[in-house]
Structures are given as C-alpha cells and as structure tokens.
Structure 1
Amino acid sequence: MASEIELKLDVSREAALAIEGSPLLVGEPQVIDQRAIYFDTPENGLRKAGLSLRIRRSGEQRVQTVKAAGGGTAGLFARGEWECPVDGDQPRLDETNPIRAIVGDAVERIEPRFEVRIERHLWMVQEGASTIELVIDRGETIAADRNSPITEIELELKEGAAADLFALARRLDARAPVRPGVLTKSERGYRLSDEVRSSFKAEPAALDDGMTSAEAFQRIVYGCVRHFRLNEAALFPDRNPDTLHQARVALRRLRSAFSIFASIVRGAEAERLRGQLRGLAADLGDARNLDVLLDHTEAGSLRDRIFSAREDAYDRVEAVLATPSARATMLDLLEWTAAGEWLRNEALETDRCRPIRAHAEGALNRFRKKVKKDGRDLLTADDETRHEVRKDAKKLRYASEFFKPIFQRKREKRRSKKFVAALEELQEQLGGLNDLATAPEVLRLLDPGGHAAAIASDPERKARLIEAADEAYDDLIDAKCFWR
C-alpha cells in the first residue's frame, strides 16, 4: 500500500495551452498515451464502498490500480493505493488488494463500466526545495454511446513540502485560470451513466471515531470545498437557483467549521480566510435574495423588474467568481488547511490532538446551549434577535451533520434523526421569517416610492411563522441529544 499527495486543478483547454507554452515548463514533456478501463459491479458496489478499480495501459504495459478515496476530497488527495502489473484487461482480485474483502461474493460480477483515454504531457518541476510531477491530461471518458471531454492538471509531490504544491499552483494561475479540481476520472466516468444533476448537496463528512480534532477539521474543509466547487462549476450558463443556493450553503458550512473548531484554528491567517469566505458569500447573496423574491411574486411588471435585477445579479456573481481573488481564496484555504501555521502552533497542540468525539461533544453542547438561551423568547423577540437565533441554529445543524459519522451507535443514530429533524423545522421557519424581513428592503430598491415593499411585509404570514418557529424551538429543546 502506497500513499500519494496530489493537487488536482480544473482548467479550460485554452488555459492548458497557455500554461503548456509558458516559461514555467522547461523542455519537452514526456508524452504518454493512456487507456484505462474502470470496473465495478452492476450495482456500483465498489463506488459505494469508496473504491475505484482500473487497468491502465501505457504502450504494452498494463497496471491495475485500486484506490480508496478515504477523506481525500476538494483536490487534495491522501489516498490508499494498491498497484500491481497485469497481463491483460482482466482484473486481479486477490489478497493483494481489499476488493474481495469489501464486496464479498459480488466480486464475481465485477465488469468493465467505462473507459478513459488520455494524452498525458508530463514534466518534473522544481518548486522551492520540492520536486513535483506536473501533468496536463487531455482526453475523454467513454461509456457506451456517451462521452465527456477531460482537460485537467495534476501536481503530485514527489519530494518536499505540501505547501510547494500550492506555490506552483499560484504560479500556474498567474498564467491562466486554474481552480481546485474535485472530480476523479472515475467519478467523471460514473457521471456518464448517472442522472444529470444541476446542483449538488453536501456529502457526509468522511470522519471516523479514531481521528484527532485536527484531522477531522481538515476532512470537513476538504468536503466543503468540494461541495462549493461542484456547484460553482455547474452554475453557469443555466443559472439554476438551487445551484447558487448550494454554493452559498457550502460557504456557510466552511465558515461554521471555523467556529466549531475555534479552539484549534486561531490566528491571523484563519481570520483572514474567514473574512474572504464571508465576502464571497455576500457576493452571492443579492442573487439569492432575488431568487427567493421571484419565487414568491406573481406575473406582472414587478416580477419582470425582479427578473431583470436577478439577471444583473447573476452577471455580477459570474464576474466575481472569475476574478483571481476568488480563485485564490480556495487555493489559500486548501494550502492553510494542509500546511498552515495552525498545525505547528505548540499552544494549540493539546486541542489539535484531542479525540474528535470529545471535541464534537463539547461543540454540540456549546451550540445547543446558545440556541436554547437565545431562542426562548421567539414570540416577542425582534427580527434581529430571531436572525441571530437562525444563525446559531445553522451552526448547530452543520455541527450535527459534520459529526454524524462518529455517533453511529444504535441509540445515537435514532436520536440524531429526531434531533436534526427538529432542527431543520426550526431553521425552515426562521428562514421564512428572514426572507420576510429581507424582502421589503430589496423591493424598495427596485420600486422606490411604490407599494411593493409594504405588500411584501405580510404581517399575517409573519405571525404564523413566528408561532411555528416557537413550536419548532420547543420540539428541539425537548429532543434528546444524540451525543450524550
């Protein structure tokens, strides 16, 4: 079993050409034509188990590779990997890899599922004191009668420090736009047979009970960046409201992770990153507010003005996401998470090494206590107070979702389901109240001097939502804590 650390970067074909022709890449590359067949059961048993199995042919040589995705997401991978030479296109399924042990008798039904054909250009690059393998892959994924193009860059650390991967990535980005890549080639292949999706919800955090707090924080950040990038890549040109919403959810989850792990991620760089994430979320906020308004406005001149303003807001979102600063935010976050000063700060070592279950229990208790205290007077509270309770509830929900994989005993799972359901109901009602509070101000900008803002206030609906939120709050407080 070997380990690899690599940074995958999404690029356009034009960007790849610009980088390949730049002074950053010296000399002629090694050119390798690759053909890889990926295997799975008809029910995708390997995929569900977090494994991929391929046989890659380069020239006359064939190598079988089994990879375990583990927690390696958001472009930064630290995977288990098992390799062995094979004579043909029939996989070797024995004690040299974990497949038979994981899928059992289903191993007999493993079959070819799709093929990846790549022309790989490879350079060895010195960055600082590190040696990095840089490859530009161009090709396509093929499954039956469907295919999808591939253009991506991979930076694999051969010797040296992980931080140098990001230094090289920044130099590439200065030549042409690059963004963290989050799809493996196997995922691209499976997508050819999956139902087409326009938005992506958060996936379960890849945590286990044996982790430290630092390891868990890293896994959570990588998962959140993956969540953001999947939706960022799908946002244009369709401008689907759910896609934008999920991109904003990913940013909120990232910011919540900083709060949940505040005891180990202190420092100036952490605060700078939190500020950048907050600013990026705000840049997406206007478009989201207009999406909500549009969904609750009947056909007519006002709806037409809202739609026009919404299109302008999406133009601004598209422009913001194309800026170097937006791209740098994700690279900076990944670098700091993988190799930042917080990992070397001796004052934080005890908390970093704390078992994740103990950290999770403390964080969940802290956020629940805050929701309980601040939400006890929802019936008489003002809009600002209810908004603060809504933010507290979000942090509690995200913490509950992040830590769910480490509370898997039967009673914990049963209580977790009820607790999160009550929390979601509270969030839904408070979210409706926040939409009501936001709508009049947005409409005043679109309809100065008009009556739309007054109509949007809807006092009867507000009263119903406040009562429902108060009931949801009582249900949440009555729900048993799944972590105790």
Structure 2
Amino acid sequence: MTAAHIEIELMFLVPASSRAALAAELGARGAARRVSLIDAYFDTPDRRLARAGLAWRMRREGRRWVQGLKAARGGALERFEHEVTRPDASPDPQAHAATAPGQQLIELLAQAKAEGQDALERFQIQQRRLMRRVRTRGAVVDIALDEGRLTAGAAVQKFREIEFELVSGSPVAMLDLVERWRQRFGLVHDPRNKAERGHGLAAGSPHPPLRKAKSPRYDQDAGALDAFGAVFDECLAHLNRNAIGLTEGAPELRAEHVHQARVGIRRLRSALRAFRGWVAEPPAGLVDGLRRLFAELGKARDSDVLGSGVVAELKQAGAPPLSLPADSALPDLAALIRSDETQHQLLAWISWRAGLQPLAEPQDSLQRLARKRLRRWHKRLVDGCRRFDELEPTALHALRKHAKRQRYALEFFAPLLPHKRATRHLQALAAAQQALGEINDLVVARDRYQALVTADPAAWFAVGWLTARLAEARERARDELGHLAAVEPLPR
C-alpha cells in the first residue's frame, strides 16, 4: 500500500500550563485516538539527506512498519510526504522510486555509497499521540498532540507540540480554526519539524540554528504571483525561524537572532513594496504589526551594538571609567515572541499568504516591469548619493534604508536580471549599506553618551571620540557611495 501527497500542516509548541486543558479538549466526547509511535531516522554521516531537505524514516505503529519520505517545499504550510507499508524494519529507498523526491533520495544514497558512506540511523523519536479529527466550516482538520523525546546517542530532548493537518477543504479555513486554538491555549508557532530538531540534536546542536537570508527561486518566465510567493515565503521563513530562536535558542546567539529577525521583517516589507501594484496589498493592520515588532526588536539591537562594540572600543582608546545606565525599556524577547500579539501576527501572515489571489496580469512581462522599477529606484538612490555632503543624520538614515531596499529588491528580482551586472550592483550596494550602517551606529552611540554629560563629565571623552570616528566613517561612506553612483545601469 502506498500514499503520496502534499501535506498542509502547521506545528506549535504547547505551554506546560495549557497541556491539561488542551488534552481534555481533544478527548472531549470520546472522539480522540491514542497511539504510541517509534520513529528511526536515517541519513549519511555527512547529513546529505538533511542538507537536501529530505527526511527518511521508519515508523513502528503498533504492529505495523511504515516507511516515510518527506521533502521540504516552499511556504510555511506545504510539505511532500510519501509513505509505504513495509513487512519489517529494514528500510528500502527503492520503495519511493515513483516520486521525484524518491529519485533524489536514491541518487544521494548511491553517491554516498560510492564515497564509502552508508545511511545509518541518526536518531529516534518516541512519542505518544492524542489525535482528533475536527470538522469546521470549510475544512476537515486532524489535530494531534505529540509528547515524547528525541534521542541521538546519549543526547535526549523532550518535546510537547501540537500539529494541525488539513485533511480536506480550504487551507484558510483550517487556519481560522488554528487561530481559535492558538488564542485559547497560548500556542507558539514553531516552523521546525521533528526531523530538523532530531538532526540538530544528533549534530550536537539542540537549539534552533541561526537563519540567514536565502535567495528566492522561481522561473525566469514566472508571473508576478508565483515570483512574489517564492519571495514572500523566503522572507517569512527568515523571520519565523529566528523568532523561534529567540524563545528556544542558545543564549549566545540571542543578539544574532534579533538582528536576523529584524532583517527578515525589513526584507518582507521590502518585498511588499517591490511587488506593489502587481499583487494584492495586505491589510494595513498586518503591516503596522510588523512595524511594532521591528521597533521592539530594535531596542534590543541598539543596546547590543552599543554594548558589544562601542563600549569595548572606548575602553581600548583609554576612555575614563563610565557606567551606562541600564535601559529599563528593553523588552523580554522570549515573552515578546510568545505574546498573543506577535503570535497572532505570525499566523495572520501565513493565512494571508494562503488566501492570496492573483490580480489581473499586467500586459508587460514581470521581467520588463521589474527592470523598469529597479532602474527608476537606482536613479533616485544615485541622486541621494551625490548629495551626500549635504545630508544630516536623519537624511543619511533615510538614504541607508533606500540602499537596503534597493539591495533586497535586486535579490528578489535576481532570476530576471543578467547575473554579472546584478552582482556588480549588489556588491556596490552592500558596501554602501555597510558604510552608512557604521555612521548610523556611531550616531546612536554618540547621542546616548551626549545625554550623560550633565550627570557625568567623563562622557565627554566618548562624545569627542565618537565625533572623530564619525568624520572618518563619512569619508569611507563618501567613497563607497561614489562607487555605487558609477555602477552601470541595469538593462531595459
């Protein structure tokens, strides 16, 4: 017996305080089913299956053995799955040969074997599942509460999570149901699946990894909706995977998760701007919520930059002892991400994406439209670069944001552009953005120390030192902006 399909599902962490009420709700009216599962996941020692986005496992469910292959797909909801009932616990990759991910699995394992690497069991999952099928308006949804542990050698990690999987009907209708359960039980969205967590545990990295931006992929002849979907999915994954890092991540990565989450928000907003007029606009409330989250994370980011960079450099420069007052306005980042407002926002963006409908396709191709828009924005940016010496800090900050947006838009439209010329633009934009970012950080630091001079005259040393650094930074920025202004324009 075989079954192959695209799963539409979403995972959430379950707070300990909600566990009993949630289990009671699932078991109401005797509709729940209980099952114990043991999964063994296989991969090569160099993790080439995981790196290819594949998860290959053998499951024992009662007396049955079920072999499964899962593959990542774009978006927060979709994942490929192919399952085959097996006579025993021995895995056979050929059982998935009728599927494209199965062919990829067979090829990867053959390559590994030729290099002397056989697939081995990497980790196990032992779990108890409480599952109920729920019918709601427009959808039938399987809801499963999973509790158990991941085991990789001597490493063990317990988990308690809930999964919503669409059986039939509308994904948007399923997400409406998910939002009601999220509100009721304080659920926290986790974009990771158990396979990812298990591979991390086996590799000695039990925490969510830092997630940096990736290049969206779509065909050169893609329409606006398909291209935007690929771009949006990447931006949202960038945000969500760093958001879970702020609740479940390693403390030493906190500052970088903050930075990358903010980059994810900035890229998502830039994507909406880059495709404006070609795809539907999101509700204003969603965009406003992103701005609020960005601002709250920004408080922690400014403190991190000041504490990790400027303070150490001032000490090295011989500054007199000076204690910066603690910033009582800094947010509790884990509480911020777990908050009802943030979790509502993250789920609402997933729901908006799932219900996105195409607008009437413009007469021109997306390639022509994107190139025209990029050329127009580049001209405005060059005008700002040429007025650099006239710009005060506020205007410089606006120029920096313009450079960031242009860089992100070039990355979003990269499949539609000549590679070499786009690369030259991206390199010049990255250098200009870094130079302007240095100015911004120094201005923030100088203003912070300037506010302290009345209470502690020792702060004058920092103000003077930072002012000198700013003059040097402006010289570097002038050079980089000159290089950016001289880059050959993109083709029509």
TM-score normalised by length of structure 2:
0.85
Larger radius of gyration: 2
Equivalent-residue separation in structure 1 for 2:62 and 2:491 (angstroms): 54
**What letter corresponds to residue 235 of structure 1 in structure 2?**
L
The answer to whether the 8 Å contact 2:385/2:482 transfers is: no
- Cα distance change, pair 142–360 in 1 and its aligned pair in 2 (3 A): farther
What pairs with 1:205-224 in structure 2 (closer than 5 Å)?
A: 205-209=215-219, 211-224=222-235
Equivalent-residue separation in structure 1 for 2:435 and 2:161 (angstroms): 43
What pairs with 1:73-472 in structure 2 (closer than 5 Å)?
A: 76-94=76-94, 95-96=97-98, 97-100=102-105, 102-103=107-108, 105-106=110-111, 108=113, 109-194=118-203, 196=205, 200-209=210-219, 211-235=222-246, 238=251, 240-267=254-281, 269-294=282-307, 295-297=309-311, 298=314, 304-306=323-325, 308-309=326-327, 312-340=328-356, 343=357, 348-351=359-362, 357=367, 360-404=370-414, 406=415, 412=419, 414-443=420-449, 450-451=456-457, 452=459, 455-456=462-463, 458-472=466-480
Q: Aligned-pair distance for 1:479?
A: 4.1
- What residue ranges of structure 2 are gaps of 5+ in the alignment? none
Q: Aligned-pair distance for 1:478?
A: 3.8
**What letter corresponds to residue 181 of structure 1 in structure 2?**
D
**What letter corresponds to residue 439 of structure 1 in structure 2?**
A
Equivalent-residue separation in structure 2 for 1:67 and 1:357 (angstroms): 34
Equivalent-residue separation in structure 2 for 1:215 and 1:355 (angstroms): 13
Equivalent-residue separation in structure 2 for 1:187 and 1:273 (angstroms): 29
Q: Secondary structure at the match of 2:388?
A: coil
Equivalent-residue separation in structure 1 for 2:365 and 2:47 (angstroms): 33
TM-score normalised by length of structure 1:
0.86
- What residue ranges of structure 1 are gaps of 5+ in the alignment? none
**What letter corresponds to residue 331 of structure 1 in structure 2?**
L
Q: Secondary structure at the match of 2:360?
A: helix
Equivalent-residue separation in structure 2 for 1:441 and 1:428 (angstroms): 20
The answer to whether the 8 Å contact 1:221/1:257 transfers is: yes
Percent identity over the alignment? 27
The answer to whether the 8 Å contact 1:51/1:69 transfers is: yes
The answer to whether the 8 Å contact 1:115/1:143 transfers is: yes
Deviations 1:410-432 (A, max 9, x none): x71x5554433322211111011
Q: Secondary structure at the match of 1:305?
A: coil
Q: Secondary structure at the match of 2:203?
A: coil
Q: Secondary structure at the match of 1:21?
A: helix
Equivalent-residue separation in structure 2 for 1:354 and 1:453 (angstroms): 58
Equivalent-residue separation in structure 1 for 2:321 and 2:210 (angstroms): 31
Equivalent-residue separation in structure 1 for 2:216 and 2:256 (angstroms): 24
How many equivalent pairs are there? 467
Match of 2:484 in 1: 476
Identify which range, 94-103 or 171-180, moves more after superposition.
Answer: 94-103
The answer to whether the 8 Å contact 1:202/1:224 transfers is: no
The answer to whether the 8 Å contact 1:36/1:56 transfers is: yes
Deviations 1:181-205 (A, max 9, x none): 2111111111113354686232424
- Cα distance change, pair 118–223 in 1 and its aligned pair in 2 (3 A): farther
Deviations 1:270-294 (A, max 9, x none): 3221111011111122222122222
**What letter corresponds to residue 483 of structure 2 in structure 1?**
D
Equivalent-residue separation in structure 2 for 1:282 and 1:447 (angstroms): 27
Deviations 1:344-395 (A, max 9, x none): 6xxx2215x9866556534543443332222222133222222111001111
The answer to whether the 8 Å contact 1:407/1:482 transfers is: no
Q: Aligned-pair distance for 1:319?
A: 4.4
Equivalent-residue separation in structure 2 for 1:92 and 1:287 (angstroms): 50
The answer to whether the 8 Å contact 1:202/1:227 transfers is: yes
The answer to whether the 8 Å contact 1:440/1:456 transfers is: yes
Q: Aligned-pair distance for 1:221?
A: 2.9
